[in-house]
Amino acid sequence: MSENIFDVQNITFGYDDLTALSDVSLIIKSNQRIAILGANGSGKSTFLRLLDGLYFPAKGTISAFGEPLTEDALQDDEFAFRFRRRVALVFQNPDVQLFNPTVFDEVAFAPLQLRWAKDEIKKRVGETLELMEIGHLKDRSPHRLSGGEKKRVALASVLILDPQVLLMDEPTAALDPKSRGQVVDFLISWSGTGKTVITATHDLDVIEDIADFCFVFQNGRVVGQGTPSEILADRKLLESTNLLHSHRHTHDGGDIHSHDHLHRFHEHEHE
């Protein structure tokens, strides 16, 4: 019923002399909605890239769909195509992901690399553009799009493959409230179709909507895990991992005070 999508065992990874992840182990099953929580530099983006076969661990192993995910394995066309088709990563910065001249080319890029038939590609691009409600942007250049539009094109560019697993890196960062809402809505509806979504974020406001289970990262280690409500209730954990911070601000009465800064808890009492 619920097979293991990713089986991560004791992985360690570093850039040059900087250790990004050390001794991380976890298992992600199909149909799960996972949030990887952590402040900037906690290693959560690196972790997503390891899951996507872009980086490879220095120590430890990662298995994807029961097969070892290694640099050597990805040299094989058949394995690479199978893996790339099933796992998709949406990068935090859409400028990085949108490198084609037009929106149409962007969405057609992945199936072209996977050598789909050209007619099939044309049909699927049209459908995907409609699904994401960006059909009217078809011939536009990515640099003329708004932040929210770019995000939708980036999503369309990976969804055309109909992946089983979607890795999202900070999907709500730098978006206006409306686009942010759209992204969250999308994630809710998409994961309802038997897919696995793994979202790296530090946006505590959305995790209850997009995740059933959370892992909390700090300095490259898993320091906590649990359901969103369990994690959100653990103030001590959130504060020690810099996901929750206190700051001072002024209220109407002119009194200055400090309190935990989390918008969903914002209706706090003033004494």
Partner 1 sequence: MNAVLDQKLKPAAPRRKKRGSFVERTLKTLVSEAERALFAEELARKDGLLQRLDPRVKIVGLLALILTTTLARNFFTIIFIFAVAITLAILSRVPIRTLATRAWLSALTFTGTIALPVIFITPGNVIYHLPLLNWAITEQGITSALYLIMRVETTVTLSLLLVLCTLWTHVLKGLRVLRVPIVFVVILGMTYRYIFVMLDTARNMFEAGQSRLVGSLDGTESRRIAAASIGVLLTKSFYLNTEVYMAMQSRGFRGEVYTLDEFAMRQRDWLALGAFTLTAIIAFWLGRQDSLASWLNFP
Stretches 25-33, 92-100, 216-224, 250-258: which one binds partner 1 (CB under 8 A)?
92-100
Pairing type for strands 213-218 and 221-226 reads antiparallel
Nearest distance, CB of residue 114 and partner 1, angstroms: 5
Paired strand residues for 200: 36, 169
Q: Taking CB under 8 A as the criterion, which residues in 48-77 touch partner 1?
A: 49, 52-54, 77
Radius of gyration of the chain (CA): 20
Chosen residue from 91, 186, 213, 217 binding partner 1 by CB under 8 A: 91
Q: How many residues bind partner 1 (CB under 8 A)?
A: 39
Q: Is 147 an interacting residue with respect to partner 1 (CB under 8 A)?
A: no
Report in angstroms the alpha-carbon separations of 263 from 19, 173, 189, 200, 237.
32, 15, 24, 19, 17
Q: Closer to partner 1 at the Cβ: 139 or 230? A: 139
Instruction: Tell me: does residue 220 bind partner 1 (CB under 8 A).
Output: no
Give the C-alpha separation, 109 to 103, whole Å: 10
Helix (H, G, I), strand (E, B) or coil at 17: coil
Per CB under 8 A, 136 contacts partner 1: no
245 binds partner 1 per the rule CB under 8 A: no
Say which DSSP state 137 is in: G
Sheet of 4-15, strands arranged across:
18-29, 4-15, 59-64, 67-68
How far apart are the C-alpha atoms of 5 and 1, rounded to whole Å?
A: 12
Question: Binder to partner 1 among 57, 142, 171, 220 (CB under 8 A)?
Answer: 142
Q: How far apart are the first and last CA of the chain?
A: 52
CB of 17 vs partner 1, minimal distance in Å = 18
* Displacement of CA 146 from its chain's centroid (Å): 20
Which segment (85-93, 174-182, 186-194, 218-226) binds partner 1 by CB under 8 A? 85-93
Q: Determine which helix (DSSP H) or strand (DSSP E) holds 125, and give its type and residue range.
A: helix 118-131
Based on the shown chain and the rule CB under 8 A, indicate whether residue 100 belongs to the binding site for partner 1.
Answer: yes
| Interacting span for partner 1 (CB under 8 A) from 29-37, 101-109, 172-180, 193-201 | 101-109
Q: Which two tokens stand for residue 132?
A: 């994401």
């960006």: which residue's tokens?
A: 134
Q: What minimum distance in Å lies between the beta carbon of 143 and partner 1?
A: 4
Segment interacting with partner 1 (CB under 8 A) among 32-40, 113-121, 196-204, 217-225? 113-121
Contact at 8 Å (CB) between 47 and 41?
A: no
Using the minimum distance from each CB to partner 1, give the nearer residue, 89 or 231.
89
- Per CB under 8 A, does 97 bind partner 1? yes
Q: Which residues bind partner 1 (CB under 8 A)?
A: 49, 52-54, 77, 80-81, 84-85, 88-89, 91, 93, 95-102, 105, 108-110, 112-115, 118, 121-122, 139, 141-143, 157-158, 161
